[in-house]
Amino acid sequence: MARKLIARRAFFVAGPVVLLVLQRPARAQASLATWGRDKKDPRWFGGEAHVATNPNSVVARLQDIDKWPQVFSEVKWIKVKKRAPNYAKAELEIRTFDCGSHDWEITFAPNRTIEMKIGAPGIKARAVTVVKDGKTPTEALITYWLFVDVSGVVGWFVSEKDLRAKQEKLATNILKDLEKTFGAAVS
């Protein structure tokens, strides 16, 4: 009987604490809407950011790739090697992976989709950003998905666990940077 009483008291004391820990804090700034791994292919990780900027302005800012280091905390530096209206080739270094710089092909599609690809030996990476209309004309919904896979010699030096942890950190930071740059939507 004493055990049941102690257990009940512990529940009534600990229960609200657990609920407070599990409940997301209310903020004026919206947090990431969703994020996680693709259930069909866990090499993809991504999510959404609801921002308080109209979609066309978001795309225009993202097309200015020279300024990505000011937008994305993950971009250490960037050097544009080739530029066309809907295409660019750039060398850039990303902080999280800390593996030096690589050449990326960047494509800007008319449907407000931005795709980045890397074709380095032993590394396959692809990032897809889609900017959609938000709930109001002054908001946008940005989805960002990142695919990373390694093979051959490169795979010897990075464990699957470390690779996925770095991928999650990078994608989450990108989404947070998008909210910070464009303002989180509150609706």
CA–CA distance, 29 with 47 (Å, rounded to integer): 17
Instruction: Give me the residue label for tokens 């002054």.
Output: 138
Contact predicate 62/129, CB 8 Å: yes
Quick one: what percent of the chain has pLDDT higher than 70?
A: 81
At residue 70, what are phi and psi to the nearest 5 degrees?
-80, -20
Please report which confidence band the pLDDT of residue 158 belongs to, taking 50, 70 and 90 as the band edges. Answer: confident
What residues pair up with 184 in beta bridges, in sequence order?
A: 51
Domain ranges of the chain: 26-182
What the block records as the tokens of 106 is 């960047």
Between 185 and 8, the more confident residue is: 185
Average pLDDT over residues 135-143: 95
CA distance 27 to 83: 40
* Model confidence, pTM: 0.79
Strand 44-51 to strand 140-150: parallel, antiparallel, or no bridges (unpaired)?
antiparallel
* Chain centre to alpha carbon of residue 79: 22
The two tokens of residue 150 are: 């390694």
Higher pLDDT, 14 or 79: 79
- CATH 3.30.530.20 corresponds to the domain 26-182: yes
**22 pLDDT more than 60:** no
